[in-house]
Structure 1
Amino acid sequence: MFFETYKNELIISGIILASLFIIRLISYFTITKVAKKNNINIARVRLMKRYVTVSLLLLAVLIEAFVFGAEFKDLAVIFSSVFAILGIALFAIWSILSNVTSGIIMFFNFPYKVGDKIEIHDKDFPIKAIIEDIRAFQLHLKLENGDLVTYPNNLMLQKAVTLIQKDAIDDISSDDGSDSV
């Protein structure tokens, strides 16, 4: 009885879900291709793929609500309430969102790689370091004295940065005689 009543909606749902699945595969392929071309860390690739999956899942829920008869005014009330609560919560953690957004931007357009020696031109805290890891929220930088510094992604995009040496991580590990970084 259920299948007969909602036959058209189920067919449309199948087409929508198949389309979003194909979009997900194309996105994954594109992310993987960009990552290989730019020699990007596999952990960052997984993070970008998770962002795509969550975005497509939210889009699927919205589209399915319309397919099964929800009206715009009903969804508008729900989404405005949810976004009001999220807006208040996210205002409190805007810095985290800024760093995540910067992490996404850095995935697709960032001239520096893990192992590069860089200089960050900050008048209060100038840094010369080697990039050890690029994460969702921050970079891990190894200073010349061996200290590890975490530097927020949003500041990395706001400050002037100079590339001193590509793949300097190999030089440090060979200088101190150890194989670990």
Structure 2
Amino acid sequence: MNFDLSDYYKQIIFSVLTILLGTLVKFIAQKIVNSFSHISHKADKRKNMIIKYIDILIYIIFGTIILLIWGVDTGRVMTSLTSILAFIGVALFAQWSILSNITAGIIMFFSFPYKIGDRIKIQDKDFPTEAEIIDIKAFHTILVTEEGEKISFPNNLFLQKSIVILEEV
């Protein structure tokens, strides 16, 4: 069997171009998130979390494009990937909760009217809560009450509950 590199020039060139384009898209996405974070005074930890999620999405998209360039049967790859994700979802049993909290965390980054340091009141008929936001993470927001209690509040509930800003920073 004779191996000739010239048979793969087209795939190599398209792969290099795809990697360069992916790097450019990643750079532009990071600049947009950094600009938005600076304008809206978002915390660096939240900005870094959003950048990490966007990077993962870019890697998946451009990795799939490279697989297509090299003629890999993406149907089989996707079937394997979805099987693995389904197994992980069943194993963790709370996949929907995790995904809803991650999605809520991303939504909160771009359109959340509250920021770290704000005093808020969560309008909940069973457990109304007044507290200060001390951190906003990927899955939950950390609150501290006047009594010093730390509360971990799931991000998806922040989008479902009515919240009053008592004191803005």
Q: TM-score, normalised by structure 2?
A: 0.90
1:118 partnered with 2:120: yes
Q: Of the candidates 147, 150, 171, which is equivalent to residue 149 of structure 2?
A: 147
Structure 1 pair 73/130, CA: closer, same or farther in 2 (3 Å)? closer
Q: Give 1:44's aligned residue.
A: 46
Secondary structure in 1 matching 2:159: helix
1:14 partnered with 2:16: yes
Q: Give 1:103's aligned residue.
A: 105
Please state how far the C-alpha of 1:42 moved relative to its aligned partner.
0.3
Q: Of the candidates 154, 163, 168, which is equivalent to residue 166 of structure 1?
A: 168
| Aligned-partner Cα distance in 1 for 2:124–2:153 | 12
Q: Aligned AA for 2:128?
A: P
| Aligned-partner Cα distance in 2 for 1:109–1:150 | 20
| Aligned-partner Cα distance in 2 for 1:62–1:74 | 12
Which consecutive segments of 4 or more residues in structure 1 shift more than 6 A? none
Sequence identity percentage: 34
Please state how far the C-alpha of 1:145 moved relative to its aligned partner.
1.3
Alignment of 1:66-81 (within 5 A): 66-81=68-83
Please state how far the C-alpha of 1:11 moved relative to its aligned partner.
0.2
Pairs aligned (count): 167
| Aligned-partner Cα distance in 2 for 1:86–1:145 | 39
Question: Gapped runs of 5+ residues in structure 2?
Answer: none
| Aligned-partner Cα distance in 2 for 1:43–1:148 | 19
Q: Give 1:34's aligned residue.
A: 36
Secondary structure in 2 matching 1:140: strand
Question: Gapped runs of 5+ residues in structure 1?
Answer: 168-181
Structure 1 pair 5/86, CA: closer, same or farther in 2 (3 Å)? farther
Please state how far the C-alpha of 1:86 moved relative to its aligned partner.
4.5
| Aligned-partner Cα distance in 2 for 1:132–1:142 | 7
Q: Aligned AA for 1:35?
A: S
Q: TM-score, normalised by structure 1?
A: 0.84
Q: Of the candidates 133, 137, 140, which is equivalent to residue 139 of structure 2?
A: 137
How big is each residue's C-alpha offset from its partner over 1:70-124, in whole Å with a ceiling of 9 and x where there is no partner? 2354445434534543553465332122111110110011000111111100111
Secondary structure in 2 matching 1:40: coil
Q: Aligned AA for 1:104?
A: I
